[in-house]
Structure 1
């Protein structure tokens, strides 16, 4: 028996094709669960879910923090914390332009999350 670790499967979160079958169709591999769980955890907060929705649906595909902050009855630092959590989970990218930071959704990871939760394809398969 070898003491070598099993090769790590790399999951491309930007891939056009789903990383795995929907969870209603087959068990999610441990490696996939490890990679995708932080994104689901980040979206598990109501404020972050709303921020993600605002960013993903923004005209031009991006939203300025200056437009996001007034939509909530929260302090700027609290909104910044939530945006940092979304960024660290790989759900958004950010770019500083002068004083403001602009956020864009990362469609690849959103496709992966949507494919994993897709129950229609699992039911018809």
Structure 2
């Protein structure tokens, strides 16, 4: 920690032209507050979400479900993405685990819908283009 503080003091001296102990302590406190955004649980969940979207088939499935006005069954989705039923089911399972899709059993059918989180992520992506 002493080396870190010494390096930070040198940086602040370059930036401020002079660095008092109060300046160093203030900056250390600001950095401690900033560190809270690196919460391990949140980061892990977010990385899993982005990882789920990192596959083209899963991304296309989320796109379809967000665009759909209603739930879709695997038998409705498969012809649209041109992959096997089992690949679609596996991808939907991954998306469900990531919180991007919900599933509901209706008799012998499973129906899928995009979550608000999926919709929000795609809205941000669309808005950033």
TM value normalised by structure 2? 0.60
Query: By how many angstroms is 1:29 displaced?
Result: 1.9
Quick one: higher RCO (CA 8 Å, sep 6+), 1 or 2?
1
**Bigger share in helix:** 2
Aligned to 1:69: 78
Gaps of 5+ in 1: 1-25, 121-125
Q: Confirm or deny: 8 A CA contact 2:101 2:118 kept in the other structure.
A: no
Q: 1:74 to 1:104 in 2, by over 3 A?
A: same
The answer to whether 1:93 aligns with 2:102 is yes
Aligned residues: 93
Q: 1:63 to 1:71 in 2, by over 3 A?
A: same
Query: By how many angstroms is 1:116 displaced?
Result: 8.4
Gaps of 5+ in 2: 1-33
| Larger Cα-atom Rg | 2
Q: 1:67 to 1:114 in 2, by over 3 A?
A: closer
Following TM superposition, where does structure 1 have runs of at least 4 consecutive aligned residues deviating by more than 6 angstroms?
114-117
